Structure 1
Amino acid sequence: MEGSGVCVAVLAAGESRRMGFPKLVAPFAKSTLLERAVGAALASVAERVCVVTGASHEAMAPILERIAASAEKPLDIVRNERWAEGQGSSVAAAACYGHEQGCDALVMVVADQPFVSTEVLNELVAIQRESGAPVVMCSDGAQRGNPAAFDAPLFEHLEALQGDEGARAVIRALSPEMIKTVAVGPRLLCDADTPEEFARLESEVLHG
């Protein structure tokens, strides 16, 4: 499977307000949520990986620099100085990076979804490549969500995003036939937003 020109962007700029502590660098299932997401991205067919940091940039930077030193493909840190504006600013920063790097597709990954796998990322890339669809999203049958792949013509629209809505404003403007989906289990779309969810998801990762 060819992944040339594809970038995976790991969105990791939030302040974990509902959690009460920096969840992405906290111990999680013998690792951290950040390292799980970056590891899945680096193992994928994508040509390069970037991590959009923000509120916890200082805590994340040394971890990411250590990973980058031994990575077999480019791993870049994109610091989002506008992180407090919401996820839209992080999506915009990732799209700007993809644009600057000349990527022809961008896969967005939210770093607090511990069940996102390399296999799912590769399937998103494969379907986007084969279909030429502007957007390929994950779907559990009841809802659609991240990770999702976007082709280059959408980058300029993603770069214009503001606020906390993320890419959904861009997706809503597309006709249904322009959006493909990858079937996933419901827990892949789960994210760790509260201490209770964090503990539950960690237990599921450790014990199945």
Structure 2
Amino acid sequence: MSNSIPILILAAGSSTRMEGEIKQLLPWGKTTLLENAINQAKRISSSVHVVLGANSEKILQSTTLKAHIIKNKSWKSGMGSSISIGVQHIMDMENVEALLIMLADQPLMDSYYLKSLIQEFVKGKHKIVATAYQDKAGVPAIFDNCLFEELASLHQDFGARNVIANNQEQTLLVDPKGREVDVDIKDEYIQILKKQNIKHV
């Protein structure tokens, strides 16, 4: 079943705190943050979809993304709009039992961890399998198709955490064991590179 669960990568943000650089295109080893997310997703799923918004044309001109591209023209309204348009696209596909949602700016979220989420989900005991953070739950997370309508109704900056919070009794939380760090500012990016012993170009 793991190979049949679509993966939706959210990559529509404007990188306002990245000192003029496009976050999705920041180098990560021999690739970029966005390409790394796609590569990890493709190791466990044959159906990978990326929501682009800000700088979408520059991103598409700069690299060849091996995934289905969904453009969110309303990206300025927040992450909820990207989830909504992405889930609506997934809902148009046939026989989709669940969906995994992840971010492009969490480079330590590898295929091993994503697969562990799927392994928990396929046990059939929970409608949501999400990532545990210190004070909340979030993505990467897998949602059963019975929650697609709720995800598709998200708007503005209300993200998947709201759906998880509304369905706590049906949610299993998984410890990411340090993989949850994300890249929001340039200093965070440089620190992650150093910790991973990746040369900063």
Using structure 1 for the length normalisation, give the TM-score: 0.87
Q: Choose from 161, 169, 173 the match for 1:181.
A: 173
For 2:52, the equivalent position in structure 1 comes to: 53
The aligned runs of 1:28-177 (5 Å cut-off) are: 28-44=28-44, 46-62=45-61, 66-68=64-66, 75-102=67-94, 103-139=96-132, 143-174=136-167, 176-177=168-169
Q: Where does structure 2 lack aligned partners over 5 or more consecutive residues?
A: none
Letter in 2 for 1:120: Y
Q: Deviations over 1:20-60 (max 9, x none)?
A: 3211112233321001100000011x240000000021122
Higher helix fraction: Structure 1 or Structure 2? Answer: 1
Find the aligned partners of 2:136 and 2:196 in 1 and give their Cα distance. Answer: 22
Mapped to 2, the partners of 1:115 and 1:4 lie a distance apart of: 21
Aligned to 2:186: 195
Note the C-alpha offset of 1:67.
4.2
Give structure 1 regions of 4+ aligned residues with deviation exceeding 3 angstroms: 140-143
Please list the CA deviations of residues 133-166 of structure 1 after superposition, one character each: whole Å capped at 9, or x if unmatched: 2110112566432211111111111111011121
Query: Identity across aligned pairs (percent)?
Result: 30
CA contact (8 A) 2:137 2:161 kept: no
Give the distance between the partners of 1:143 and 1:62, measured in 2 at CA.
Answer: 37
Query: Is the contact made by 1:107 and 1:149 (CA closer than 8 Å) also made in structure 2?
Result: yes
Give SS of 1:192's match: coil
Cα shift readout 1:91-131 (whole Å, capped 9, x = no counterpart): 11221122111321111111000100101111111211112
Residues in 1 aligned to 2:15 and 2:24: alpha-carbon distance in whole angstroms: 8
Hey, what does 2:22 align to over in structure 1? 22
Distance 2:155 2:14 in 1: 17
May I ask how many residue pairs the two structures share in their alignment? 196
Q: The residue matched to 2:119 in structure 1 has which SS?
A: helix
SS in 2 for 1:145: strand
Greater alpha carbon shift after TM alignment, 91-100 vs 147-156: 91-100
- The alpha carbon displacement at 1:89 in A equals 0.6
